[in-house]
Amino acid sequence: MPMYQTLLANVGRALESQAIPYMVIGGQAVLLHGEPRLTRDIDITLGVDASELKRVRAAMEGVGLTPAVTDVETFVRSTNVFPVSDAVSGVRVDL
């Protein structure tokens, strides 16, 4: 399974195990529908708000993804995005 598909499957399983609703968006969503498109990250919209950050963070850390910013709470509050990255592949996932 290609790197992005493996990472996306791991993220999906982690979110599902915590009953966190999600939707793949951006370039990966386009690729899942069969349209070729160059992309270097994975974008996912979550069906929870920032009050669930600890649960989302734990789910991501459970599959080896680490925060891509230093002050996670401030960043999430100001942008509504929780960026994480995979140390092995270097792929960034924006939640």
Mean pLDDT computed over 47-57:
95
Mean pLDDT computed over 42-49:
94
Q: What is the pTM of this model?
A: 0.80
DSSP-assigned letter for residue 83: E
Contact 59, 20 (CB under 8 A): yes
pLDDT recorded at residue 36? 65
H or E, element range at 42 = strand 41-46
Query: How much of the chain, in percent, has pLDDT values that exceed 90?
Result: 68
pLDDT recorded at residue 35? 62
Q: Which fold has domain 3-94?
A: Beta Polymerase; domain 2 (3.30.460)
What lies within 8 Å, CB to CB, of 63 at 6+ separation is 10, 11, 13, 14
Number of H helices, E strands in the chain: 4, 5
What lies within 8 Å, CB to CB, of 80 at 6+ separation is 50
Q: What is the mean pLDDT of the chain?
A: 89
Q: For 7-43, write each residue's pLDDT tens digit.
A: 989 999 999 999 999 998 887 766 666 766 667 789 9
Q: Which of 55, 50, 57 is nearest to 78 (CA)?
A: 50
Domain-wise residue ranges, the chain: 3-94
Mean pLDDT computed over 39-51:
90
Number of other CB atoms surrounding residue 44 within 10 Å: 20
pLDDT recorded at residue 33? 64
